[in-house]
Amino acid sequence: MIKLLFFAQLREKLGCTSLDHPLPTVATVGGLRAALIARGEPWSEVFADKNVLAAVNQRMAKDNAAISEGDEVAFFPPVTGG
Amino acid sequence: MNGPVSEQAITRIEILDATFRPADHAEQLSQNDSDNGALVTFTGMVRDLVENPVNAMYLEHYPGMTEQALETIIATARQRWVLGHVTVIHRVGMLYPGEPIVFVGVTSRHRREAFEACQFIMDFLKMDAPFWKKEYTPEGERWVEAKSSDSQAAQRW
């Protein structure tokens, strides 16, 4: 299992702060996005957006980043701090 | 920290849930630091404009990743410039117009390093640090959208 976290507008649109999820068949951030899209609405609309950023174990990650059992993967909009 | 740093070069990162006084942190940076002749600080504040009225702002963050992201940004700045002390303070939670959101303070021997590092840290904080702002306006709640000018600012480095 991996732990998913959602922040800001994503959290509101999904109605979900965190979720335990099995490691996707394609064990990358891109593979995980596809698995989430397959859940249907509202996941399919949210994760179809290319502007959703990801972090694996608290480091920014691109779609080809590998995910392993026990990892923490967060999804969020572009950041607006400062 | 990499590169030539004085033994006393201190990095302070604080994520705060309550309002803070930038002047106190500026004062702290200038004390016990006779090696360094320059202190540059930046303070970002909550605005309430006639054309964009804001009653309050909520700052969300990713606990754990925010501190790491700021450490990485500061470490990168220290590799690029020889710096003295570096302090970054960032609010989370509810803020009101006029309150400080972020403070960045940098000391260095001479002014060039401190000016450049302070700007560098702010440009990369705007792009990489996991915070999200939500404005509470007379017309309702609105998440602030990221600006392309911020990612362009980071690219100039």
Three-state secondary-structure class, residue A7: coil
State the pLDDT at residue B7.
55
Q: What is the 3-state secondary structure (H, E, C) of B68-110?
A: HHHHHHHHHHHHHCCCCCEEEEEECEEECCCCEEEEEEEEECC
ipTM here: 0.93
- In chain B, residues with a C-beta closer than 8 Å to the C-beta of A58 are 62, 64-65, 68
Distance between CA atoms of residues B133 and B94, nearest Å: 10
Topology at the third CATH level for domain A2-76:
Ubiquitin-like (UB roll) (3.10.20)
Q: Which of residues 133-152 of B touch A (CB under 8 A)?
A: 133-134, 143-146
Residues of chain B in contact with residue A79, where contact means CB-CB under 8 angstroms, are 126-132, 146
pLDDT in tens, B78-118: 999 999 999 999 999 999 999 999 999 999 999 999 999 99
Structure tokens at A4: 């998913």
For chain B, list residues with pLDDT below 70: 1-7
Pick the closest to residue B88 from B58, B117, B57 (CA basis).
B117
Distance CA B45, CA B107 (A): 22
Residues of chain B numbered 14-53 and touching chain A (CB < 8 Å) = 44
